A and B are shown apart, each in its own frame.
Chain A
Amino acid sequence: SQKIEQNSEALNIQEGKTATLTCNYTNYSPAYLQWYRQDPGRGPVFLLLIRENEKEKRKERLKVTFDTTLKQSLFHITASQPADSATYLCALVANSGYALNFGKGTSLLVTP
C-alpha cells in the first residue's frame, strides 16, 4: 500500500539554526511532491512544490530536495524563527486525479 512517512516526533531547535524535516514514501511514482504548513486549528497552507526532475527548490529561507531514487524529500528552514513553529506536512498526488495524500506531519518548535 502507499505510505508517506514523516518523523512523528516533534523537532525542537533553537532560533537561528536550520531545521531539517524528512518525508519518505513507498509505492508512489510521483511527478510532484509538495510541502504544506499547518498551524493548530487551521487549514494547511501551501509552501513549495517540487517536480520529479528537480533536485532542489528554494523559496526565501525554505529549501526542498527531492530524491526519487531514495524516495525521499528533505525540507529545510534556514535561520529558523519562533514564527516557524508549526506542523509541516508532506503531500503526494493520489493515484487518480489531483487529490493529495498527506503524511502525518512533523511538529517543529523553534525556541528563542
Chain B
Amino acid sequence: GAVVSQHPSRVICKSGTSVKIECRSLDFQATTMFWYRQFPKQSLMLMATSNEGSKATYEQGVEKDKFLINHASLTLSTLTVTSAHPEDSSFYICSATGGQGAAKNIQYFGAGTRLSVL
C-alpha cells in the first residue's frame, strides 16, 4: 500500500518552456502533498506544501509564480515549472501523507522527476 506515482520520470526541455509534473497517490487519499527539489549530493529541500482544495504554502525563497502547484483532488497534485531556465534543472520529488496521528508524519514519495533545461 501507500504508493505514489510521479510522472514524467525525466524531461528535457528548451529554456522558456513550461513543464508540468504530476504526482498521484494510487491507493490512498492524500490530504497533504509536498514538493521537494534535490541537487546532487544535497538534501531534499522543501519547496511547498499543498492541501487538497486550497492554495499551496511555499517555503521562503520559492517563487510561487515560477512553481505553480495545483492540488485539485485527494489523489493528484501537479507542479508546473513556468518559463524554465537552466538553473531550474534539478531533481523534483513529490510526497504525500494521508494517515492519522503519528502516521500522518510519514511521507510516501514518488520516484522523482529529473528536469534538464537546455
A residues whose Cβ falls under 8 Å from a Cβ of B:
32, 34, 36, 41-46, 49, 51, 89, 93-94, 97-105
B residues whose Cβ falls under 8 Å from a Cβ of A:
4, 6, 32, 34, 41-44, 46, 49, 57, 91, 93-95, 97, 102, 104-112, 114
A97-B49 Cα distance, complex, nearest whole Å: 9
A89-B93 Cα distance, complex, nearest whole Å: 15
- Specify which chain A residues have a CB less than 8 angstroms from the CB of B106 in the assembled complex: 34, 46, 49
Knowing A41-B114, A49-B102, say if A100 contacts B49 (CB, 8 Å): no
In contact, A98 and B105 (Cβ under 8 angstroms)? yes
Chain B interface, >50% SS class: strand
Total A-B contacts with CB atoms under 8 angstroms apart: 61
- Specify which chain A residues have a CB less than 8 angstroms from the CB of B49 in the assembled complex: 97-99
Q: Top 9 nearest A-B pairs by Cβ distance? A: A43-B109, A104-B43, A102-B43, A102-B44, A43-B93, A43-B112, A44-B109, A99-B49, A43-B110
**Closest partner residue, chain A, to B9 (CB atom):** A41
In contact, A43 and B43 (Cβ under 8 angstroms)? no
In contact, A100 and B107 (Cβ under 8 angstroms)? yes
A44-B91 Cα distance, complex, nearest whole Å: 12
**Closest partner residue, chain B, to A33 (CB atom):** B105
Write 29 A-B pairs (CB below 8 A) sorted by A numbering. Answer: A34-B106, A41-B112, A42-B112, A43-B6, A43-B109, A43-B111, A43-B112, A44-B109, A46-B106, A46-B107, A46-B108, A46-B109, A49-B102, A49-B106, A89-B44, A93-B105, A94-B46, A97-B32, A97-B57, A98-B32, A98-B49, A98-B97, A99-B46, A100-B46, A100-B105, A102-B43, A102-B44, A104-B42, A104-B43
